[in-house]
Chain A
Amino acid sequence: MTVQLPGNYLDMRLAVLIYFIILSFHFNSVIGQNYPSGTFKYGKVNLLMDKSFISNQDWSEYIYYQKNKFSTDTDHYVKSLPDTNIWKKEYINGKIPSIPGVDVKYEADPIIGLSFYQINDYCEWRKNRLIERYKTDYVCRLPNLDEFKLFIERQKRAYPYNVLVLIENEPKIVNYNPSTKSMNISNYRDNIKFFFFCVMEVKK
């Protein structure tokens, strides 16, 4: 005997099927995400950018890696520490982030007190961690001016800040004022407080 299924029943089955396909696609895209959650993809090519400035917590991961791998009496570890003179000015209790006993309330704040060279080392370290984690070849670097503009569109900070960027492969400090949306670019120098974030290129 052949039974003709009612049309609306078939429609319902189709809707359920489509729903599960969409759900499955969604799960795959979330679970199978092959880049860190603190970054987003942009541009036509495979580029990743940090969603926010590198924080004390992010940097602490780097410090602890150096500490655990090379111990505290090596250059690897010492060179990863921020300049406490700059850090203390900003964070009154004077404790360096990521050092045992740090106040957790500073964890999410941008790391400061670093030099361009320390940040270069960090980019190299981070690139290697990304390659190990995602089995994909990355290049990790500082952003250029266009990338910085894209970055600030996503930020909610209301106060002016300095950011380290690369302009024609030279490190520069961009002072950005969110209220006037103005930018002042100056040469990089040590002992200045600035924030930074990274851009990762996925090499094919």
Chain B
Amino acid sequence: MAKPYTLGRSSSTGWWAWGCKDGDGAGSSPSKSEARAQARAACSGEGIITPPDVDVVAYRGYLSHFTIEDLDGKRNTFSTEEISQAEFSFFFGMPCANDEKVEDSRKLITILKIWGLYRGGYNVETIMKLHYLTPDDVKKLITRRYYGGTIIVEDDGTITWKLP
């Protein structure tokens, strides 16, 4: 989930102005780090991971494509060329004959793509590096133990994972 606040230079004072995305607070500070700290303290909008809404289009019983909300509420459409039926089934925890064939790296890519966080990488090590994941985070993600967790994408691109 993207950070729950906005941060930018005020055009009238040159201070760093921040505001909670949910409109629940705002402020400004001469230094960026101080403004960011204030925003973090004030904006409680860390996104809790919950199962997303999805619209599925199937053809003769086989998945054709699906449209799903990412963690920012944006709807994205994926074809089975991008996310296969087995990967889709994995994400939703549905039993599927090909479940076991989905590699850990593909599981991570599927989750990150659906959440709108995917930055690249095709093996687990690269994906971990690009997404600031620890081995423990990876283990939780590929076993789908992430509901109720939070993700914060910082201004500098770092991602903080708080998985249960």
Contacts and interface: CB of A to CB of B under 8 A. Distances in A.
Interface of A: 35-39, 50-51, 54, 58, 60-61, 64-65, 68, 98, 100-102, 126, 129-130, 132-134, 198
Given A65-B28, A132-B30, A36 B13 contact: yes
Contact of A61 (B23, B24, B28, B30): B28
B13 A68 contact: no
Interface in B6-41: 9-15, 17, 23-28, 30
A100 to B, nearest CB: 5
B25 A100 contact: yes
B26 A64 contact: yes
Q: Which of B9, B26, B30 has the most CB of A within 10 A?
A: B26
Nearest to B16: A133
Contacts of A133: 13-15, 30
A36 B25 CA distance: 23
Contacts of B11: 36-39, 51, 58
A2 to B, nearest CB: 51
Size bracket of the B interface: 10 to 19
B23 A36 contact: no
Contacts of A68: 27
A129 B29 CA distance: 9
B72 to A, nearest CB: 15
Interface of B: 9-15, 17, 23-28, 30
B15 A61 contact: yes
A96 to B, nearest CB: 12
A58 B10 contact: yes
B9 A37 contact: yes
B10 A61 contact: yes
B10 A35 contact: no
A129 B27 contact: no
B14 A58 contact: no
B20 to A, nearest CB: 8
A38 B30 contact: no
Contact of A54 (B12, B14, B24): B12
A102 B24 CA distance: 10
Nearest to B25: A100
Contacts of A61: 10, 12-13, 15, 17, 26, 28
A98 B24 CA distance: 10
A129 B26 contact: no
Q: 9 closest Cβ contacts across the A-B interface?
A: A38-B11, A129-B13, A36-B14, A58-B12, A133-B14, A64-B26, A100-B23, A37-B11, A64-B27
Contacts of A100: 23-25
A100 B26 CA distance: 9
